[in-house]
C-alpha cells in the first residue's frame, strides 16, 4: 500500500516568518493581494506585521473580513465578489481555520467558476484548476488548515456543515509564525492547543498511521517480526 502525502511546496516556521511573505509574492510577480482575515485579528494589530511587509514591497492589498467562525456559503460567495471587484491576483489568508477555509473556497471558485454555488464542492469535487496562489498564515494553533487539503463550510439553510477535500486547494506557501498567535485570548489558546494535541494523538494511534506519524507502517505492523504498536517509552 502506498501512502499519499500532500504538502505545501513551501513553508516557513518560526518567529518573524511573516517577513518572507513579500519575497514570496514579488518573486512570482504578484501585485494585488486579497487579505482574508478575521475582525479580531485585524483589530489586534497583528496584521500590521504583514501589511508593513506588503507596503515595503509595493504590493497593493484589500481586506476581506466578512468571515464568521464556521464560515458560511454566503461568506465564500461575498469573498469571490470582493476578490473580483479588487481585481486581486493572489490571496493572503491570515486567521484561524475559518479564514483559511473560506480562502480555499474563494481561491477554488475564482479558478473553477462552475462551482460558484459552493455546495457542489462538497466531498471530492472534480475541480480542474488549482486555486488562486495562496499564502496561509494561521493565527490559531488548532486546525492546521494551512497544510491540509480540506475545508469546511456551513450551509445555513440546510443547518449542516460540509467538508470539501481537494488537492487543488492546498496553499502554495504556509507561514507558521508563533507571534501571529499571541493575540489569542486565553480560552482560544487553550481550545485550539487541545485541538492540535488531539490531532497529533489521532495521527499517532489511527490504523491509518504511516511513517510520517513515527509509527510502524501498516505493512510492517502486520509482518511477523513487527513490533506491535505501543506508546513510546518516556524517559525522564
Ligand X SMILES: NC(=O)c1ccc[n+]([C@@H]2O[C@H](COP(=O)([O-])OP(=O)(O)OC[C@H]3O[C@@H](n4cnc5c(N)ncnc54)[C@H](O)[C@@H]3O)[C@@H](O)[C@H]2O)c1
- Distance (Å, whole) CA 33 – CA 135: 10
- Picking from 23, 191, 57, 36, the residue whose alpha carbon sits closest to that of residue 103 is 36
Give me the least distance between CB of 180 and ligand X, in Å please: 6
Q: In the complex with ligand X, which residue's Cβ is closer, 45 or 58?
A: 45
Sequence-distant (≥ 6) Cβ neighbours of residue 43 within 8 angstroms: none
Give me the least distance between CB of 162 and ligand X, in Å please: 10
Q: In the complex with ligand X, which residue's Cβ is closer, 171 or 216?
A: 171
Q: In the complex with ligand X, which residue's Cβ is closer, 76 or 216?
A: 76
Q: What are the residues facing 175 on neighbouring strands?
A: 12
Task: With beta carbons less than 8 A apart as the criterion, state whether 100 and 138 touch.
Answer: yes
Q: In the complex with ligand X, which residue's Cβ is closer, 95 or 216?
A: 95
Q: In the complex with ligand X, which residue's Cβ is closer, 36 or 215?
A: 36
Give me the least distance between CB of 54 and ligand X, in Å please: 19
Q: Residue for cell digits 485585524?
A: 42
Give the distance between the most distant pair of CA atoms in the chain: 62
Q: Residue for cell digits 509595493?
A: 58
Give me the least distance between CB of 96 and ligand X, in Å please: 2
What's the Rg (C-alpha) of the chain? 19
The residues that touch ligand X, with contacts defined as CB under 6 A, are 38, 40-41, 44, 69-70, 95-99, 101, 139-140, 142-143, 145, 148, 150-152, 181, 183-184, 188, 192
Region for 90 from its dihedrals, namely left if φ exceeds 0, alpha if ψ lies in -120 to 50, beta otherwise: beta
Give me the least distance between CB of 197 and ligand X, in Å please: 13
Amino acid at each position: 500500500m502506498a501512502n499519499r502525502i500532500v504538502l505545501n511546496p513551501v513553508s516557513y516556521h518560526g518567529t518573524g516568518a511573516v517577513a518572507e511573505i513579500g519575497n514570496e509574492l514579488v518573486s512570482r510577480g504578484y501585485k494585488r493581494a486579497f487579505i482574508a482575515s478575521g475582525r479580531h485579528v485585524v483589530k489586534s494589530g497583528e496584521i500590521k506585521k504583514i501589511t508593513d511587509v506588503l507596503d515595503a514591497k509595493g504590493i497593493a492589498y484589500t481586506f476581506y473580513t466578512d468571515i464568521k467562525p464556521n464560515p458560511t456559503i454566503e461568506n465564500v460567495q461575498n469573498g469571490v465578489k470582493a476578490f473580483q471587484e479588487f481585481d486581486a491576483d493572489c490571496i493572503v489568508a491570515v486567521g484561524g481555520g475559518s479564514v483559511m477555509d473560506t480562502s480555499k473556497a474563494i481561491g477554488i471558485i475564482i479558478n473553477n467558476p462552475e462551482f460558484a454555488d459552493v455546495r457542489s464542492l462538497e466531498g471530492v469535487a472534480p475541480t480542474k484548476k488549482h486555486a488562486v496562489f495562496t499564502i496561509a498564515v494561521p493565527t490559531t494553533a488548532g486546525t492546521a488548515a494551512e497544510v491540509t487539503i480540506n475545508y469546511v463550510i456551513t450551509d445555513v439553510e440546510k443547518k449542516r456543515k460540509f467538508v470539501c477535500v481537494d488537492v487543488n486547494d492546498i496553499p502554495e506557501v504556509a507561514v507558521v509564525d508563533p507571534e501571529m498567535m499571541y493575540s489569542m485570548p486565553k480560552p482560544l489558546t487553550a481550545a485550539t492547543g487541545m485541538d492540535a494535541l488531539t490531532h497529533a494523538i489521532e495521527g499517532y494511534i489511527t490504523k491509518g498511521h504511516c511513517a510520517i506519524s513515527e509509527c510502524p507502517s501498516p505493512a510492517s505492523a502486520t509482518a511477523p517480526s513487527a513490533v506491535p504498536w505501543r506508546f513510546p517509552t518516556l524517559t525522564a
